[in-house]
A and B are shown apart, each in its own frame.
Chain A
Amino acid sequence: MIQRLGRNPIALAFVAILVLILVGSTFAIVPETKQAVVVRFGEPQRIVNRFKPNQDFGQTGAGLTARIPFMEQIVWIDKRILSVDMDRQQVLSTDQLRLQVDAFARYRIVDPLRMYIAAGTEQRVSDALRPILGSALRNELGKRPFAALLSPERGQMMDNIQTALNRVARQYGAEIVDVRIKRADLPDGTPLESAYERMRTARQQEARSILAQGLKQAQIIRAEADAEAASTYAEAFGKDPDFYNFYRAMQSYETTFVNNGSGEPMGRSSIVLSPRNEYLEEFSGGQ
């Protein structure tokens, strides 16, 4: 037979193609990124490369796997961490403030069989988790005042949401790895505007207080200078108050009558003197 085949290329080609088809439908390559559920006439038989925590790549079940051709099919299920993006949600906090929240959850299919039975495809799992993530988020955030949404308490909230979501995810053979709030914004319109208004007024208040502080500081500096000048004067003039009086009077006369210091033209003065004036004492021969 072999000999005959050997002499006949067409028959050989047929055989080779048959063998190829057989090999191709018997063996399948399971990559590291996929879990394979082997299904015989719709009935799941076994799972190849199932996810196990803390398993290093190379030690997993990935690689060549065999199946009964034409009887068993392989359903591929992603082994990697997948993500569900939630649609933007409006959350009402206990103090009636609104917040626009964007969140995402990361999950991984840990029980491919259950997932295959319950959902079929990863897409369906995501679709099923999305609204639940939304409602879990609303429930959890709605229990808190607005300020708490911004506070470190957020970590605890996320854990609660994750727990709630995990309960559902487990029904789909999935495990939630992480839930995070991606964005938390004030909704457009009035809330945003009033926040802006508050920021504006806060800034104006700051501006005014800066001005007032500036004036206060300036006044203090002036007063300190006045005090310092006064003490300088007192120290110098206090040595002889009587002479100071005379000295200053002389200066003052000069300033008043001759030169008022500013160099501006001054009003002319007339003085009516009595001969008995001290200055004119000698006028009359020094009596």
Chain B
Amino acid sequence: MNKFFGWGARVGAVFNENKGGPWGTGGSGGSGDGGGSGPRNPWGQPPRKRRPTGTTGNVTSLDDFLKKSRERFGGGRFPSTGDGKPYWLYGLAIFLVLWLLFTSIHRIGPQERGVVTRFGNYTATMGPGIGLTLPAPIDSVQKVDVEEIRTIDIGSTDANSENLILTGDQNIIDLAYSVRWNIKEPQLYLFQIANPEDTIREVAESAMRAVVAGVSLDDAIGSGRSEIEQRVAQVMQQLLDDYRAGVDIQGVAIKQSDPPAAVNDAFKEVSAAQQTAQSYLNDARAYALQLTAKAQGEAAAFDKVYEEYRLAPEVTRRRMYYETMEKVLSRVDKTIVEAPGVTPYLPLPEIQRRQQEGAAR
């Protein structure tokens, strides 16, 4: 037995320098149950034995400090042996305290929830603030951001990538949309589905295609968009609730809903036709306005004259007749032919003048 201890002491001396290392790091496992008191006592003793192997000359100021402080506080538990050998004990103690502090106090941000599991078994969800749990190997906390609205984009507004979807009337549209979601119940989100984000993406695609398959092309491109958005969000929420995914769909936004590039020209033709038709109508309305205005003007003029006429029919009639004749006859060449049988002088002066004009030209 003596022999054994002697050998032990020698090996111990060799090991002594780095013994603290493995214990320090490995201590995480053992310290939980042992509380450190197990190894401390026995380790307190041996250094005295090893003392003779000789490091007396190596006493540092830290050594002194430790010794003094131990004398001050220590007493019974760590018998002041007069040497400062077990630094590692203090290291271990500090490490343990830090370990306890860091693994049992959790700061949960205002947007987060902490999901606590005890040996893997879900125990509670911590709200924002400081949360206390048992130390690390027993309890563990996963922080989940529940406020952040995450976005999944499907399709893109990029011209050279198309996300083609069949509509109810067997047409095809190019659709780009995004889904906004956040986490509703963190424990479900963590434990229920293997790939929550992929799942949400797939559910979104399937819901969008199912809904679009029920509407016409014109609705999908134009007026029905907000309704589609709402219905997709509804379908998605229902599916995800069926999965118990713990996810809240905030909304679906259709960013782009266009006919595919291959038929875009034909769609432009339609809008061109609409413009043209509109211009036809404008022309017709202008004509109508002009025509009715003219009619009203003429009717009003007639009315005025007619009023006068009624006051003195015969005179007015004559006056108008003469006025008109004056205007007419003052502007034209006149030939008065007296009696039947007289050949009028032809060519008429008019024709002469024309000939002159023609010659001048």
Contact = CB atoms under 8 A, between A and B. Distances in A.
Contacts of B287: 221-222, 225
Contacts of A80: 191-194
A63 interface: yes
A238 B214 CA distance: 62
Contact of A215 (B214, B280, B291, B292): B280
B15 interface: yes
A286 interface: no
Given A207-B270, A221-B281, A221-B285, A57 B243 contact: no
Nearest to B213: A150
Given A178-B239, A225-B292, A253-B324, A214 B278 contact: yes
A9 B43 contact: yes
Interface string B34-46: 0000010111011
Given A58-B123, A81-B192, A204-B269, A218 B209 contact: no
Interface string B149-188: 0000000000000001011101110000000000000011
Contacts of B3: none
Contacts of A20: 29-30
B45 A6 contact: yes
A143 interface: no
A187 B140 CA distance: 50
Nearest to B283: A218
Interface string A41-70: 000000000000000011010111000000
A151 B267 CA distance: 25
A166 to B, nearest CB: 15
B121 interface: yes
Contacts of B283: 218
28 contacts: A9-B15, A10-B8, A32-B122, A58-B123, A60-B122, A80-B192, A178-B242, A180-B206, A181-B206, A192-B172, A195-B170, A196-B263, A201-B266, A203-B263, A207-B273, A214-B280, A217-B277, A217-B280, A229-B291, A243-B317, A247-B305, A254-B324, A270-B332, A270-B333, A271-B329, A272-B335, A273-B337, A279-B329
Given A12-B42, A203-B267, A279-B325, 13 more contacts: A16-B30, A20-B30, A31-B120, A32-B122, A58-B121, A80-B194, A177-B242, A195-B170, A200-B265, A224-B288, A246-B320, A254-B324, A273-B334
Interface of B: 5, 8, 11-12, 15, 19, 29-30, 39, 41-43, 45-46, 117-124, 164, 166-168, 170-172, 187-188, 190-195, 198-199, 202-203, 205-206, 209-210, 213-214, 217, 239, 242-243, 259-260, 262-263, 265-267, 269-270, 272-274, 276-281, 283-285, 287-289, 291-292, 294-296, 298-300, 302-303, 305-306, 309, 313, 317, 320-322, 324-325, 327-329, 331-338, 344, 348-350
Interface of A: 5-12, 16, 20, 29-34, 57-58, 60, 62-64, 78-83, 104, 106, 146-147, 150-152, 154, 177-178, 180-186, 192, 195-196, 199-204, 206-208, 210-211, 213-215, 217-219, 221-222, 224-226, 228-230, 232-233, 235-237, 239-240, 243-244, 246-247, 250, 253-254, 257-258, 268-275, 279-280
